[in-house]
Amino acid sequence: MAGKGRSRASGRPTLEQVAVEANVSRGTASRVVNGSLEVSPYALKAVRDAIRKLGYVPNQAARSLVTQRSDTVLLVVSESEDRVFGEPFFASIVRGLSQELSSTPLQLNLMMASTARQHDRVEQLVRNGHVDGVMLISLHGDDPLPQNLLAAGAPVALIGRPVADGGAVPYVDADNESGARAATEYLYQQGRRRIATITGPRDMAAGLDRLSGYRAALRGKRGVTRLVARGDFGQASGESAMRELLAKDPKLDAVFAASDPMAAGALRALWAAGRRVPDDVAVIGFDDSELARNTNPLLTSVSQPTQRMGRKLAELLITQLRDPDAKLAPVILPTELVRRESA
């Protein structure tokens, strides 16, 4: 009996057979194969199921000529490999991104680019048509890369508010200032009066905004000693900064660290100095990462929804791919203080 599927004698399955198997028009099947985002979820699933059943293999070279798209998007992280693979923040962002992209034909590539030469390579990939859009994380200072990519014709979206005017570049961020303010206010409410902070990098908006939140929480409060030491969001910098703070004021009784890795470093330095946490010194981090659930004592931390940030980042890019003229506002997600043992 003849059926809808491919017969043994029919050779390589055709797009028409895929359409018949999926019970959709040839045009709809073609849009799915060519990576169009303007297809209903039902049709997308039906065509993909038919492709798998029949073993249909599209001609990728011909498809690219027709669509002028690579179906590849690039995630660029302006940090070292050690930091990207060693800190849980980045893994959580990528997890959210992958979840959002899984319902599209888009493939995600990851690239570390912290030097001018690496930035040039990213721009070359865009100009040569190897990627359809770019997402950027962990920009430092007045980085020209977003504007250069826009000038090259690529849709761009960011994680993190740009320090300089981002112009037309949409971004996703956590409410860093509010989260830092809540953490510092909590320390004050617990009776702490010698309250220090370990900041993030001063050339990143997250570092600046969390420092602003710390300062806002203590503004106008009398009888409070304020102490500031610089870090770079990494654990080693948190340990070094904590030793510096103890040297400045051995009687400090609280510290807000602008990241969980820095808070973990601070805990290490406090233990080495014979300080009990939280009896002698209360410690709060920022991220509420897996690390916060594995320190001793367990770390009180400001939670930022990193997976959701990754999903929203993908949404911003997908929207631009669908509508290059879309006007997109920044997406600011709320934070929450998660109380554990360290404060």
- 8-state DSSP, 298: P
Q: Which two tokens stand for residue 113?
A: 């680019």
CA–CA gap between residue 170 and residue 182 (Å, rounded): 26
Cis before 41? omega within 30: no
pLDDT band at 165 (very low <50, low <70, confident <90, very high): low
pLDDT band at 68 (very low <50, low <70, confident <90, very high): low
Domains of the chain: 15-58 (1.10.260.40), 72-174+307-333 (3.40.50.2300), 176-303 (3.40.50.2300)
Lowest mean pLDDT among 116-120, 168-172, 232-236: 116-120
Q: What is the pTM of this model?
A: 0.77
State the distance between the two ends of the chain, measured CA to CA, in whole angstroms: 73
Q: Which of 343, 80, 315, 331 is nearest to 192 (CA)?
A: 343
Higher pLDDT, 228 or 120: 228
CA distances from 199 to 211, 214, 336 (A): 6, 10, 19
Instruction: Render pLDDT for 301-340 as a digit per residue (tens, 0 to 9).
Output: 999 999 999 999 999 999 998 888 888 999 999 999 999 9
pLDDT band at 178 (very low <50, low <70, confident <90, very high): very high
275 CB-near residues (< 8 Å, 6+ apart): 246, 281
Share of the chain above pLDDT 90, in %: 54
